[in-house]
Chains A and B, each alone.
Chain A
Amino acid sequence: MHKSMINLTINGDEVDAVVKDNLTLLDFLRDQLGLTGTKKGCEEGECGACTVLLDGLPVNSCCTLAVECNGREVTTIEGLARNGQLTPLQRQFIDKWALQCGYCTPGMIMSATALLNTNHHPTELEIREAIEGNLCRCTGYAKIVEAIQAAAAEMNWEEA
C-alpha cells in the first residue's frame, strides 16, 4: 500500500494529509475530509457531479488523484459561501428554481463559477458550453442557464 504525504489548500485552508496513492480527489474530499457536497455520479468523468476547481479551473475530481493535488489549490461547493453569504450564482439557483433533485447542482455551480470567474459577459452558447460536462437529468437545463445568466447580470451590475 503506497501512501504519500500531501499539503494543499482546500477552500482557503491549508490541509496536511496522508493519502493512499490510488485515492481520488473525490474520495479524499468526501471520505477523508467529510466534504460531501462534491457528489459521486459515475466515477468515469462523464457526469460532472464531482466537479471542483483545481487552481481555479473546473475538473472532475473522480479523474484526479489526491496525491496529484499536492501543493495546489482546491475549491469545493462548500468553499463558495463566505461568512454566511451565498454567492450570486448560488442565490440565483435558488431564485430561479434551477435545481430539482439537486444532485448535479454542486458540480453545475462549480462549472458556472469557473465560467463567471473568467467571463463576465457570457453568451447563452458560452454558458451551455461551460456546463456541457455537467449532466442534469431533471431540469432540461433551461432554468440552470437562466440562473447563470441572471448571476452574470448581477455581477456586472455590481461592477458598474
Chain B
Amino acid sequence: MHKDCAKTYFKKPEFYRLTGENNYVRIDAEDKVTGHGQYVGDIMFPDMLTGRMVRAPFAPARILSIDTSEAEKLPGVKCILTPKDFEWKHKVGNGEFAAEFADKEVLCTEIVRQVGDDICAVAAIDEETAQRAVDLIKVEYEKLPGVYDPFEAMEEGAPEVNWEGKGLHNIGMQSHMCAGTDIDEEFNNASYIQHRDYSTHRMVHAAMEPHGAVATYRNGTYNIWMSTQMAYVDQFWYAKCLGVPENHVRVIKPLVGGGFGGKLDSYSFGLCAAKMAELTQRPVRMILTREEVFQTTRNRHPIYMHIDTAFAENGKMLAKKCYHVLDGGPYGGSGVAACAQATLWANFPYKLNSVDFLARRVYTNNPAAGAMRGYTACQVHFAHDLNMQYAADQMGIDPVEFRKISAADPGYVAPAGLHITSCAYKETLDTAAKEIGWYERKDKMKDGEGIGFAGTGFVSGTGFAVLEAPNQSSACVQVRLNKRGMCTLYIGSHDIGQGSDTVMTAIVAEELGLPMDMVKTFMSDTFLTPWDSGSYGSRVTFLAGNAARRAAVDAKRQLFETIAPIWGVMPETLECLEGKVISKEKAELQMPIGDAMFKYMTIHGGDELVGVGSYYHRTDNSQYNGENTTNYAPAYSFSTGAAHLTVDKETGVLDIDEFVFAHDCGRALNRRAVEGQLEGSIGMGLGYAVYEHNITKEGKILNPNFRDYRFPTALDMPKMRTFYDFTPDEEGPLGAKEAGEGSAAPVAPAIANAVNMATGVYFTSLPLDPEHIWRAMNGMEDDRHSK
C-alpha cells in the first residue's frame, strides 16, 4: 500500500490503548518461564542424527590430504562430508548485490585461513560417536606463514590471506566518505586542531544460546531450523551453496537465545547439517560447543583509529578526518558492511562542515570479525567521543557544554547526505548531566573519583536490504481477519530475544483495536511468512513495525470501506477501538469487529480479509561502492551515557557508583522493553569497557570459555537509571525509533572518560581492566597481549 494512503487511516495517538497504557506482556514469556519454548537445540525428531564439524587446529595452512577411512569404519557413523561435496558450488557471502565478495568456502578445499576453519562434517547416531569419528579423521596440513596484524597485512609482500589480487594488498573492503566544504581550508582556519590515535580490542557476542541447526530433507526440500537473525538470507546462500533453487530451501527460525549480530552469517555447519540430512535421509542436529562459538563464529572488529579534528575558537567542531583500519580476519560475510559503517558513525552526533573518512577492512588470519551490536558504532564512538572529551579538556570548556556546541539538531543534513529528522541529542545530554549530578559534583571531585559522558548517534531502520528487493523493501507483513474478528499476523522479522514479535503483535492489535490475544503471530519461516531481511541495523522496530502497521491499516481500510456505506458515513470517519468498529462522529454507530467481518465476508462472497504492508527506506549501494554519501536510514537515534565511578589507585579496580543512560528512541512502544534494552546495553557496554577481551595468539583464541572470557555477573552491574521520554518520531511506527543497538555505543566511552578524570590518564584503548589502568597510572606500557 502506498505510504500516503496508509496515513489516512493511521490511528491517532488519543486512541492508543495498548502502547499507551503499556500493560501488555511478551507473547513468548510463558513459554520461556516454563521451559516449554523451543530453541534449536530442543528440537527432537525420531531417528535424528548428531552432526559435528572437523576443524583446523591452526592456520593458515594448506590441506595436503584428508583420510576418512578409519572414521567410516566406526559403527554408527552415517555420513562424512569432505570439501569435495561442496567444491563445485558457490562460496558464502553477505549482500546479493555484492555476491562477488563471497569469499568463504563451505568446507576448505585447499587453504585453511583461520583456526577452526571448516574442513569436514560428520553425522552419527549420537554425539559420542560423532565426536569419535571427528577424532578419527586424519587431515594432513602444511603450515603456511600467517599475518595477524592488519598493518603488516597491508604491506606488499605480506602473506596473502584471502585476496585474489583485487585492489590493495589484503584489503577486502575499502570505504571513503568525503563530503562538505574544502577540508584543508577548514583545518587552515581552525583555532584548535588535534591528532589522536585510538584502538579497540576483540569482543564476542556470547549469546547464551550456542549456534545450531536442525535439518531434514523431505520431498526434495531442505528444511532447516536455524538459530539465525536472517532466515531469508540464509535461504539465499544455502540454496546457492547446495546448488538448488530457493524453493527447495525452507529456513525456519525457532526461539533464538540471543544474537547481537553473531547469528547474521550463513555458517557452514548449517549447510553441512542440510547436506547430511539429504544424504542420510534422516534429520541431523548440529549444535556448536561453546569453544566453537568463540573460535569459529564472528566477533567484534578490533579497529585502529586515527582522528584529526579542527575546532573553531568557541569550541565548535568544523571538520574531521579519520582513518579506520579494521582487523577483519580472513572472511567478509557480515563484516563487509562494517567497513562503510565505520565511516558513517564518525558523523554522529555532531554537526560538521566537512568530512574525510577512510576505512579499510583488512584480511588477516585472526578469527573472522563481523556484525556485533552497533556494527562498529561501539568502536568508532569510543574513539570519537574520547577525542571530543580530550578536545574539551584542551580547550578548557565544560564537557557537556562542549558537546552541546556542536550537537546535531532536528532537521540537520550532514555533508555525507544524512538527513536527521527527530533528534533529542541535546536533551539526552542535559538529562544525563542533571541525573548524574554533574553540576553539583564537578567541583568537588575527590582524588580517584570521576564522571564521564559520551554522546552517540545511530541509524534507526537501516535501508540496506542485503538481498535485492523491489523498492528496496526490506520488511513485509500480512494480516488476515476471520469472521470471529481474530487476526492472524504473518511477519518475516526475526525476534532473537529483543521482543519484536511482541511489539509487532502490539502494533497490529493497537491499529485493529483488538486485545493482544486476538492476534496470533507467525514468524520467520521462509515458506510461510513474507520477506524480511533480518534483525540488523536497528531495522526491526522501525521498518518491520511500520510494515506491520501498514498491513493492519490496509485491513482496517478494507473493513471500513465495507461498513461505512452500510452506516452511510465516510470510511475515514471510522476507527477500530476496544474490539469494535466505531464511528468517530456518531457514538451510536458501533459494531464488534467479528460482526463487521461477518458482514465483510457476506458482501465479498465469503472472502476473509487480508491486509498487506511493507516498508522501505530508499538508499543506494553507494555506501559500499563509490562515494558513500547517502541517507542511510529514515531516522536516527541519539544517546548520552554518564558514569560516576572511583578508581582504586592501588589496584586499578573500578567501582562504578552509577550509570545514567538517556536515549532518544522516539516514543517507547513498551516501557519495560525499552528499559530492558538499555539496561542490557549497559551490561554489554560495561563488559566491553572493562571485563571482556578475546585474547588471541596466532589466531587462536586463548580464552574460549566463560571462565576467562568474563562478562559481568549480577554482582558486577552498577546501579542503573534510564531515561527515554523524548519526542516521538513522525515517521516511526506509533512514534518509535530504535532502542537496542545504538544504545550499546556510549557505555564504554562514558566509562573511559570517567576513568580519565579519575586517574588523570587519557586512555586510548580498551578494555580498561584493572591491570590496564594500573599500568597506565604507573607509566608502564601495556604489552601483555601484543601479537
By the criterion CB–CB under 8 Å, are B207 and A101 in contact?
A: yes
Q: Which of A2-10, A36-44, A65-73, A152-160 contacts B (4 or more CB under 8 A)?
A: A36-44
Judge whether B258 and A135 touch: CB under 8 Å.
Answer: no
| Contact in complex: A39, B39 (CB < 8 Å) | yes
Cα(A94)–Cα(B711), bound, Å: 25
Q: Chain A CB within 10 Å — which of B209, B672, B682 has the most?
A: B209
What's the minimum C-beta distance from A82 to chain B, rounded to whole angstroms?
A: 12
Collect the chain A residues with CB atoms within 8 Å of residue B140's CB: none
Q: Is there contact, CB below 8 Å, between B35 and A143?
A: no
How far is B676's CA from A141's CA once the two chains are assembled, in angstroms?
A: 9
B residues less than 8 Å from A76 (CB atoms)? 35
Q: Chain A's nearest CB lies how many Å from the CB of B656?
A: 13
Residues of chain A at interface, number, CB under 8 A = 56
Assess whether A134 is in contact with B714, with CB atoms less than 8 Å apart.
yes
Known pairs A103-B257, A137-B684, A139-B679. 19 more at Cβ < 8 A?
A: A36-B35, A43-B290, A47-B706, A77-B35, A90-B33, A93-B29, A94-B26, A100-B498, A100-B499, A102-B255, A102-B257, A103-B208, A103-B258, A106-B32, A137-B206, A142-B675, A142-B717, A143-B679, A144-B714
For B188, list chain A residues within 8 Å (CB).
Answer: none
A137 touches B706 (CB 8 A): no
The reply to whether the CB of B37 lies closer than 8 angstroms to some CB of chain A is: yes
Instruction: Choose one: B257, B497, B673, B705; the contact of A42 (CB below 8 Å).
Output: B705
A-B contact pairs, 18 of them (CB 8 A): A36-B41, A36-B44, A39-B39, A41-B208, A76-B35, A93-B32, A94-B30, A97-B29, A97-B672, A100-B258, A101-B496, A105-B33, A109-B33, A135-B713, A137-B683, A139-B683, A140-B681, A143-B676
Question: Does chain A have a CB within 8 A of B463?
Answer: no
Per the 8 Å Cβ criterion, residues 101-160 of A in contact with B are 101-106, 109, 127-129, 131-145
Q: CB-CB < 8 A to B209: which residues of A?
A: 39, 41, 101, 103
Instruction: Tell whether A78 is near chain B: CB-to-CB under 8 Å.
Output: yes
Q: Which residues of A contact B178 (CB under 8 A)?
A: none
The docked-state distance in angstroms from the alpha carbon of A40 to that of B672 is 27
Which of B255, B715, B720 gathers the greatest number of chain A CB atoms within 10 Å? B715
B502 (CB) vs chain A CBs: closest residue: A97
Q: Is A18 an interface residue (CB 8 A)?
A: no
Inter-chain contact B680/A140, CB cutoff 8 Å: yes
A15 at the interface (CB under 8 A from B): no
**A112 and B715 alpha carbons, distance in the complex (Å):** 15
Closest Cβ of chain A to B710, distance in Å, is: 9
Is B29 a contact partner of A99 (Cβ separation < 8 A)?
A: yes
Residue numbers in B under 8 Å from A91 (CB-CB): 33
* Cα distance A109–B36 in the bound complex, in angstroms: 14
By beta carbon, the residue of chain B nearest A106 is B35
B672 to chain A, nearest CB (A): 4
Query: Could you tell me if B706 and A141 are in contact, using CB atoms closer than 8 angstroms?
Result: no
Residues of A within 8 A of B706 (CB): 42, 44, 46-47, 135
Return chain A residues, CB-CB under 8 Å to B682.
Answer: 140
- One of A80, A95, A128, A136 near B25 (C-beta < 8 A): A95
Q: How far apart sit A30 and B682, CA to CA, in the bound complex (Å)? A: 33
Q: Say yes or no: A101-B33 contact (C-beta < 8 A), given A40-B41, A96-B672, A138-B680.
A: no
Q: Does A49 contact B (CB under 8 A)?
A: yes
CA distance A109 to B28 in the complex (A): 16
A12 at the interface (CB under 8 A from B): no
- Asked if B281 lies at the interface with its beta carbon under 8 angstroms from chain A, I say no
Contact pattern, B 380-418, Cβ under 8 Å of A = 1, otherwise 0: 000000000000000000000000000000000000000
Contact call A99/B705, Cβ cutoff below 8 A: no
Kindly list the 10 A-B residue pairs having the minimum CB-CB distance in the complex, ordered from nearest.
A37-B35, A101-B497, A103-B257, A102-B32, A140-B679, A77-B35, A140-B683, A36-B42, A97-B672, A46-B706
For A8-47 the 0/1 string (1 means CB < 8 A from B) is 0000000000000000000100100011111111111011
Contact mask B667-688 → A, CB, 8 Å, 1/0?
Answer: 0001011011001111110000
From residue A137, how far is it (CB to closest CB) to chain B in Å? 5
Residues in B whose Cβ lies below 8 Å from that of A139: 676, 679-680, 683
- Which residues on the B side are within 8 Å of A86 (C-beta)? 30, 33-34
Whether A37 pairs with B36 at a CB distance below 8 angstroms is yes
Residue of B nearest to A80 (CB): B34
B19 CB → nearest A CB, Å: 14
Q: Give the contacts of B24-71 with A (CB-CB under 8 A).
A: 25-26, 28-39, 41-42, 44
> Known contacts A97-B26, A137-B206, A139-B680: does B714 contact A102 (CB below 8 Å)?
no
Interface centre among B42, B673, B682, B711 (most CB of A within 10 A): B42
Assess whether B210 is interfacial by the CB under 8 Å rule.
Answer: yes
A41 touches B680 (CB 8 A): no
B29 touches A143 (CB 8 A): no
Q: Which residue of B lies closest to A79 (CB)?
A: B35
Contact indicator A137/B32 (Cβ below 8 Å): no
Pick the residue among A81, A128, A135 that contacts B208 (CB under 8 A). A135
Residues on B with C-beta less than 8 A from A144 are 714
Complex contacts, B498 vs chain A, CB 8 Å: 100, 138
Which residue among B36, B127, B670, B680 has the maximum number of chain A CB atoms within 10 Å of its CB? B680
Within 8 A of A (CB), among B297-317: none
Whether a CB of chain A sits under 8 angstroms from the CB of B774 is no
Q: Mark B190-208, 1 if CB is under 8 A from A, else 0.
A: 0000000000000001111
Residue of A nearest to B293 (CB): A42
- Is B166 positioned at the interface, with any CB of A under 8 Å from its CB? no
- Across-interface contacts of B714 in A (CB, < 8 A): 127-128, 131-132, 134, 136, 141, 144-145
B26 CB to nearest A CB, Å: 7
Shortest distance in angstroms between B416's beta carbon and chain A's nearest beta carbon?
33
B38 touches A36 (CB 8 A): yes
In the complex formed, the residue of B with least CB distance to A42 is: B290
A91 to B25, CA, bound (A): 11
Q: Does B289 contact A (CB under 8 A)?
A: yes
Closest to A94 in B: B29
Q: What is the bound-complex CA distance between A47 and B289, given in angstroms?
A: 13
Docked complex Cα distance between A140 and B718 (Å): 9
Task: Please indicate the chain A residues that have their CB under 8 angstroms from the CB of B31 in the complex.
Answer: 102
- Complex alpha-carbon distance, A80 and B31, angstroms: 13
Partner of A99, one of B26, B127, B287, B496: B26
Do the beta carbons of B290 and A44 come within 8 Å of each other? yes
A137-B35 in contact (CB<8A): no
With the chains together, A127 CA to B714 CA distance in Å? 9
Instruction: Provide the residues of chain B in CB contact with A96, threshold 8 Å.
Output: 672
CA distance A105 to B289 in the complex (A): 20
Given contacts A94-B33, A140-B717, contact A44 B705 (CB under 8 A): yes
Q: Please determine whether B32 and A99 come into contact, CB atoms closer than 8 angstroms.
A: yes
With A and B bound together, what is the CA distance between A50 and B201 in angstroms? Answer: 30
Q: Is the CB of B25 within 8 A of A137?
A: no
Contacts of B260 in A (CB 8 A): 137
B212 to chain A, nearest CB (A): 10
| Chain B residue contacts of A141, Cβ below 8 A | 679, 683, 714, 717
Residues on the B chain within 8 Å of A133, using CB: 713
B680 touches A77 (CB 8 A): no
User: What residues on A are CB-neighbors of B33 within 8 Å?
Assistant: 77, 86, 90-91, 93-94, 99, 102, 105-106, 109
Q: Which residues of B514-556 are within 8 A (CB) of A?
A: none
Q: How far is the CA of A9 from the CA of B24 in the complex (A)?
A: 37
**Cα distance A140–B715 in the bound complex, in angstroms:** 10
User: Residue A41 contacts which of B26, B44, B210, B683 (CB distance < 8 angstroms)?
Assistant: B210
Please give me the residue from chain B that is nearest to A37 by CB atom.
Answer: B35
Chain B residues, Cβ within 8 Å of A140: 676, 679-684, 717, 720
Q: What residues of A have a CB within 8 angstroms of the CB of B41 in the complex?
A: 30, 36, 39-40
> A137 to B670, alpha carbons, bound, how many Å?
20
Closest to A36 in B: B42
- Expressed in whole angstroms, the Cα–Cα distance for A101 and B676 within the complex equals 11
Question: Cβ of B208 and Cβ of A39 under 8 Å apart?
Answer: yes
Residue of B nearest to A38 (CB): B35
B712 to chain A, nearest CB (A): 8
State whether A37 touches B257 (Cβ < 8 A).
no
Closest residue to B713 on the A side, CB-wise? Answer: A132
What residues on A are CB-neighbors of B25 within 8 Å?
94-95, 97
